[in-house]
């Protein structure tokens, strides 16, 4: 618990000093020094700075913990919290600029005592609004908390992490707010021109609201190098997502931590429930427990646009074909990583491309994912004929060992049975320790991108002077949403990679022209998002891949092999 709290504090502190927070710093600075009225006799309330930060901590914590969960249960846009926050900023700004608007806003509170818009109450409201518009800047810690909220894993550890992150964020910002208050108290110009100061502060609020709405602040964010990238990467690599729910199912987690071991006692197999649809079963009927009784069962969690799953599924397919006649059942639990992976037709087409013939369960609500306490794609759970989980394998590799365990359980279930020879399928799992990691593109999961932070909306990019190893860079016009970027006129991408293979997860209709070492290839794209191979090789290499895309192509990520 203490480690999680420290990670949250550090992650929040790093976020508050990162380039993504630069656009809101003037607002924070002015919030502490804004007077309560337009007269010289009305200094800013001394507790206003703390009220602003208190509102930010409350808003930020509640949104990160419950925002995804609540919005998912209501027919509301996923970005409504951000729009409400922007509306509050705009309203407060106008009230500061025009006393008549301020009086109008104060009327509902007249019966419970007069409060000026510059006092503690408005400071707390301002903090609530800041927390709403500040969410997109949160980084890897917020990502872990958001996933926990989306899958309803909101426990003491998750809440502690969210609150620690919010407090860590508030600490540097509080210094800016206090500095604004001190200047407002000490500088004569502030004291003698308080009406003008309020007008300028209100105008700043209004300009910031419009800047965030139309992504004008992106220019500032991209122009400053992300000097916190390495720290954020270290936080992301700390295993924070796994730590949040590490106490959920200790027996399964213990088995997952011992992939090279033999057969273990990992407890009874969790229930497969909450399935939206079944594929590859008679008339789409569910595969019942009675139909699986007495069989060895392999449950494989996968997503059809996951390149790691593609390589793993080759072996799962081979095992199913080899051992189905001697008592092996395979269930592919498809739990979506992207929004487009919720569409049954897309999953069906993806399963057909991968030649999957075993039953597939569409776990769109993460119910079975939660039951198994799963946290990664791909992950396999090997269950014996008595319904006990005996082995958990997270990720790729070690396939011959996994197959030997399948054979052992089949022999135990049916003593004396003649098993067919092993599949002998070669293991294509990448082994290069320097291989580039996944590059995700989108406002909610971007990185690493040399242009800087990506925000939702349409913008024009230019290639930066330097593109670091493992980074992508955008050029031309792109429109970003939470999960992808869509190409516009003159759109291009450069990718500095180290790998044998490069894959792109892209959908739409158009073409991609890829240039590497002076050689150009053209790739035709059509239909729902899917994995397309851009570079193919047998040995790892370092290269700079340049892509030119026709308008309308939606790019989600790059993966490597």
What CATH number is attached to the domain comprising 308? 3.40.30.10
Structure confidence at residue 198 (pLDDT): 66
pTM of the complete model: 0.56
Query: Which of the two residues, 387 and 241, has the higher pLDDT score?
Result: 387
- Is residue 308 in some structural domain? yes
245 CB burial (10 A radius; 0-12, 13-18, 19+)? buried
Q: Which residues fall within 8 angstroms of residue 215, CB to CB, at 6 or more apart?
A: 455, 456, 457, 458, 459
- Per-residue pLDDT reduced to its tens digit, 342-355: 889 999 999 999 99
- Residue 430: band (very low, low, confident or very high) from pLDDT cuts 50, 70, 90: confident
Residue 115, pLDDT score: 42
Residues 388 and 490 in one domain: no
pLDDT tens, residue by residue, 155-207: 666 677 677 777 877 787 788 778 777 776 665 555 556 567 667 767 876 77
Count of domains observed in the chain: 3
Indicate which CATH number applies to the domain containing 541: 2.60.120.260
Please provide the DSSP assignment of 379-434 as one string.
EEEEE-TTSBEEEEEESS--HHHHHHHHHHHHHHHSTT--PPPP----------TT
pLDDT tens for 214-245 read 655 544 444 444 445 555 555 545 555 555 55
Is residue 10 domain-shared with residue 143, that is, in the same domain?
A: yes
Q: Are residues 14 and 139 in the same domain?
A: yes
State which residues form the domain around 64: 2-242
Same domain membership, residue 28 and residue 105: yes
Same domain, 394 and 275: yes
Relative orientation angle of helices 25-33 and 156-186, to the nearest 10 degrees? 60
Name the packing angle between helices 2-16 and 156-186 (round to 10°).
Answer: 40
Q: For residue 520, what are the β-bridge partners?
A: 515
Tokens of 100: 């008549």
pLDDT tens figures, 148-166: 554 555 566 667 767 777 7
What's the N-to-C CA distance of the chain in angstroms?
36
Same domain, 348 and 253: yes
**Tens digits of residue pLDDT in 451-467:** 888 888 999 999 999 99
> Residue 6: in which H helix or E strand, if any?
helix 2-16
């Amino acid at each position: 618990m203490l480690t999680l709290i420290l990670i949250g504090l550090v992650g929040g502190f790093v976020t508050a000093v990162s380039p993504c927070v630069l656009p809101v710093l003037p607002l924070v600075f002015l919030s502490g020094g804004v007077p309560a009225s337009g007269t010289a006799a009305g200094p800013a309330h001394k507790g206003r700075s703390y009220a602003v930060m208190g509102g930010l901590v409350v808003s930020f914590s509640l949104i990160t913990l419950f925002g995804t969960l609540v919005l998912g249960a209501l027919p509301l846009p996923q970005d409504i919290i951000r729009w409400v926050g922007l509306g509050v900023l705009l309203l407060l700004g106008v009230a500061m600029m025009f006393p008549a608007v301020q009086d109008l806003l104060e009327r509902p509170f007249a019966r419970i005592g007069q409060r000026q818009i510059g006092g503690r109450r408005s400071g707390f409201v301002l903090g609530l609004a800041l927390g709403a518009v500040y969410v997109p800047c949160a980084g890897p810690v917020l990502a872990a908390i958001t996933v926990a909220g989306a899958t309803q894993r909101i426990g003491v550890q998750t809440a502690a992490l969210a609150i620690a992150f919010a407090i860590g964020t508030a600490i540097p910002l509080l210094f800016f707010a206090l500095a604004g208050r001190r200047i407002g108290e000490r500088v004569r110009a502030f004291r003698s021109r308080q009406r003008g100061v309020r007008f300028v502060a209100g105008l700043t609020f209004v300009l910031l609201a419009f800047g965030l709405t139309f992504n004008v602040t992106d220019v500032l964010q991209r122009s400053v190098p992300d000097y916190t990238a390495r720290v954020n990467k270290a936080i992301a690599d700390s295993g924070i997502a796994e730590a949040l729910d590490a106490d959920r199912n200790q027996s399964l987690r213990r088995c997952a931590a011992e992939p090279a071991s033999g057969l273990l006692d990992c407890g009874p197999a969790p229930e497969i429930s909450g399935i939206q649809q079944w594929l590859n079963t008679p008339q789409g009927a569910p595969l019942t427990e009675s139909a699986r009784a007495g069989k060895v069962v392999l449950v494989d969690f996968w997503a059809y646009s996951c390149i790691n799953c593609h390589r793993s599924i080759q072996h799962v397919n081979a095992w199913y074909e080899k051992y189905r006649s001697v008592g092996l059942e395979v269930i592919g639990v498809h739990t979506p990583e992207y929004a487009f992976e919720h569409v049954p037709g897309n999953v069906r087409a993806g399963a057909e491309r991968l030649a999957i013939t075993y039953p597939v369960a569409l776990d769109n609500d993460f119910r079975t994912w939660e039951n198994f306490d799963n946290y990664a794609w791909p992950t396999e759970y090997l269950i014996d004929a008595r319904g006990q989980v005996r082995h958990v394998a997270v990720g790729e590799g070690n396939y011959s060992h996994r197959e030997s365990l399948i054979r052992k359980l089949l022999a135990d279930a049916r003593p004396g049975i003649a098993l067919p020879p092993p599949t002998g399928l070669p293991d294509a799992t990448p082994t290069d320790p320097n291989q580039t990691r996944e590059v995700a593109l989108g406002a909610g999961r971007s990185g690493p991108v040399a242009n800087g932070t990506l925000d939702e909306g349409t913008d024009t990019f230019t290639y930066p002077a330097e593109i670091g190893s493992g980074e992508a860079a955008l050029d031309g016009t792109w429109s970003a949403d939470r999960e992808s970027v869509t190409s516009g006129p003159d759109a291009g991408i450069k990718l500095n990679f180290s790998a044998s293979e490069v894959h792109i997860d892209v959908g739409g209709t158009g073409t991609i022209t890829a240039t590497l070492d002076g050689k150009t290839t053209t790739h035709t794209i059509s239909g729902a998002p899917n994995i397309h191979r851009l570079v193919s090789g047998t040995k790892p290499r370092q290269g700079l891949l340049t892509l030119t895309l026709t308008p309308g192509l939606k790019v989600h990520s790059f993966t490597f092999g």
